């Protein structure tokens, strides 16, 4: 079994990413643009809890695990240094770019 070693500097980002990967698909399933919704949550210097609650309200039955993970993500994001918060935004943008290029490739082959 391989165990990833994460540097202490990146540990907060790693924890935030783990929690996001676990429940973001369910939270953002009905969104027209999931990346934009995710970016809206982390755009400012503090996690946008009001926007998060609106996303939760759109779910028919939000699971307690999703609510808990969202609260943890908000707290973790708010504790990040500004440079780390910017890194989170860059990772979301990079993921969006990868997603878009895959979609563009799929269209060009059809």
Closest to 88 measured CA to CA, from 48, 28, 30: 48
Domain ranges for the chain = 11-109
Looking at residue 98, what is its pLDDT?
A: 61
Token pair recorded at residue 28 = 């953002």
User: Taking the complete model, does pTM exceed 0.85, yes or no?
Assistant: no
The 10s digit of each residue's pLDDT in 45-70 is 999 999 999 999 988 888 898 898 88
Alpha-carbon distance of 94 to 108, in angstroms, equals: 21
């Amino acid at each position: 079994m391989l165990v990833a070693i994460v540097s202490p500097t990146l540990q907060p980002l790693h924890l935030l990413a783990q929690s996001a990967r676990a429940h973001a698909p369910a939270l953002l399933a009905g969104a027209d643009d999931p990346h934009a919704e995710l970016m809206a949550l982390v755009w400012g210097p503090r996690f946008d809890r009001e926007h998060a609650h609106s996303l939760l309200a759109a779910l028919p039955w939000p699971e307690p695990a999703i609510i808990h993970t969202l609260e943890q993500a908000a707290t973790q994001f708010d504790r990040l240094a500004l440079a780390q918060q910017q890194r989170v935004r860059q990772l979301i943008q990079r993921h969006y770019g990868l997603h878009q290029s895959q979609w563009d490739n799929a269209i060009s082959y059809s």
